[in-house]
Structure 1
Amino acid sequence: MINKLRTAWRHFKHMYRLPDRFERFELIVNTAHMSPVDRHVTMHLATSHHAVYAISYAHWRTKRINKILELYGPEWFLGKRVLELGSGLSDIGAFFADLGASVLCLEGRNDTAQIARLKHRNVCNFNVEVFDLEEDFTTFGKFDMIIHFGLLYHIPDVEKHLARCFSMANEVVLETVVCDSSDPMRIELVQERKDVIEEAMHGTGSRPSAAFVERIAKENGFRPQMVTTSDLNVGNQFVYDWISRDDGDLGGWRKRRFWKISAS
């Protein structure tokens, strides 16, 4: 009886270790032909627990890229100068550089920018700079388009920040969390965790109303065109076609708006 129990235990331990061994085997096979840099980037992306590395974020990036392509077409980007603000891993900027644009990505966090540089090191006409986007970034010059995704609600002085954007480009593609209000003066400051790479660099973010964003655009000579199609949604996590109740709700991370904003 004791021998049978020992045999069963040995089989159990072997089965318990098998998934780990299989994962290691898969890892070796899947990364065997990668360069050392690509292997490092792949391992970093696979083992990080930050939300920016999650599959939901990759899905979200794909949907927003598709919407830009729908609005402008891929040919529009050939020879254009594009600025991506708050670029994170800079996948979006790298995509449009691969279409023929000259792209500069500004990212506030050095660690994320470093991985972005390594990941996209072979993309032509593409650069990633570390820059605090609560500061004046107009010194980087003029661009044909600014891509402004997932950043505005991490900025406390939204009015000054947007004015800088509108002084630098004739096209701004913008998406942000908003508070549910039709008041063009409504903006709420919120506390965020500056130790979390997806949140405000200095711990204070904001929730402007959609009307607030559109007012600033118009005051700077731009025409905002809101896009509320369901094809931008990522499940119930990021939603663009929600119906306003004008109740002041701060939106969490869920209630978002998307605009194509063009110079008048």
Structure 2
Amino acid sequence: MLKKIVQAMKDIRSLPWRMDKMERHLERMEQIVMVAPLSPIDKHLALQTIDRTDALFDISYPVWRTNLINKLMSLYGLDWFKGKKVLELGAGLCEIGAFFAELGADVTCLEGRQETVDMARLKHRKVPNLRIEQCDLETDFSHYGTFDLILHLGLLYHLGNVDEHLAICFGMTDEMVMETVVCDSLDPQKIVYFEGRKDVIEESIHGAACRPSPFYVERLASEAGFEMERMFTADLNSGYFVYDWDHKDDGNPGDFDLRRA
């Protein structure tokens, strides 16, 4: 009798572990069933998306991209993109570029890491008018030609040669939409450089990082003959990323939260 009681107690204590194990098995079975009808490539992409939460696969990115796409559509409308040449820089998995390619734009996406380029090419292999290439954006990329619009989203703060890079951009287009992390400063000469994490796939391939003031970027654009329109608006906010914050002018470089467009 005592043995039965002891065994029953052991079984009760092991119940949470057993339930957790069963839940993991059920989740895995559900994932396998969900992707079973897909092609080998789509199955691989789906399992990557399910399994990975690091870097570009983090849940924050879909909301961030959706808000930016909505903003771009509110600025230009759906019909504007048809037949236009669009360049997306630091494109990551090229979700934004692929969206506008499906609207009829002729889109070139440049991304620094071959791993990400390969994934994006697989993911968007059926999207027409979409060119995805590996390119070190801290070198001269002007040979790609001129464009009706450059999308410069989430890139600038991963570069170490901001002035030279932007000079190339300004020479390739008359219109650019930019979004970046900035430091909290009103000084048009203020930019903070520091070491980035080149082992993280959405950061600089050279380990560079910076936080310019928004007015630093505006100064460079103005000197190149561009007129600026600020979009420091709440409709771009997504979780940790905030655009409609008020300046304290304390030079705070923040983390990735202080953003401007």
What range is the shorter-chain TM-score in? over 0.9
Q: How far, CA to CA, are the matches of 1:50 and 1:17 in structure 2?
A: 24
Asked if the contact 2:55/2:200 (under 8 Å) is kept, the reply is: no
User: What is the DSSP-based 3-state SS (H/G/I as helix, E as strand, rest coil) of the residue aligned with 2:175?
Assistant: strand
TM-score (norm 1): 0.93
Report the counterpart of residue 217 of structure 1 in structure 2. 221
How far did residue 16 of structure 1 move?
3.7
Matched residues in 2 for 1:115 and 1:225: separation? 34
Shift of 1:29: 2.0
- Stretch moving more, 1-10 or 203-212: 1-10
2:38 to 30, 34, 40: 34
Amino acid aligned to 2:250: D
Where in structure 2 are the equivalents of 1:1-264 lying within 5 Å?
1=1, 2-3=3-4, 5-6=6-7, 9=11, 12=15, 14-235=18-239, 237-258=240-261
Equivalent residue letter for 1:197: I
**Which of the two has greater strand per residue?**
1
CA RMSD of aligned residues (A): 1.5
Is the Cα–Cα contact under 8 Å of residues 106 and 129 in structure 2 kept in the other structure? yes
CA shift for structure 1 position 5: 4.9
Distance in 2 (alpha carbons) for counterparts of 1:189 and 1:15? 50
Q: Which amino acid aligns with 1:194?
A: K
Query: 1-side partners of 2:32 and 2:118: how far apart?
Result: 25
1:202: how far off? 0.8
Ranges in structure 1 where 5+ consecutive residues have no aligned partner = 259-264
State the shift of 1:43 in Å. 1.1
Supply the distance in 2 between the matched residues of 1:183 and 1:172 (Cα, whole angstroms): 22
Measured after TM superposition, the shift of residue 20 of structure 1 is 1.7
Q: Which residue of 2 aligns with 1:262?
A: none
Aligned partner of residue 223 in structure 1, secondary structure: coil
Contact 2:150 2:173 in 1 (8 A): yes
Identity %, equivalent residues: 51
TM-score relative to the length of structure 2? 0.94
Task: Tell me by how many angstroms 1:24 deviates.
Answer: 1.9
Helix, strand or coil: the match of 2:202? coil
Indicate how the Cα distance of structure 1 residues 5 and 121 shifts in structure 2: closer, same or farther if over 3 A, else same: farther
SS of aligned partner of 1:225? coil
Whole-angstrom CA distance in 1 between matches of 2:57 and 2:103 = 24
Gaps of at least 5 residues in structure 2 are none
1:69-112 Cα deviation digits (max 9, x unpaired): 11111111000011100011100000000100011100001111
Structure 2 distance, partners of 1:5, 1:176, is 62
How far apart, in 2, do the equivalents of 1:151 and 1:46 lie?
26
Cα deviation for residue 9 of structure 1 reads: 2.3
Q: Which runs of 4+ in 1 moved over 2 A?
A: 1-17
Q: Matched residue of 1:103: which SS?
A: strand
The Cα of 1:157 is off from its aligned counterpart by 1.3
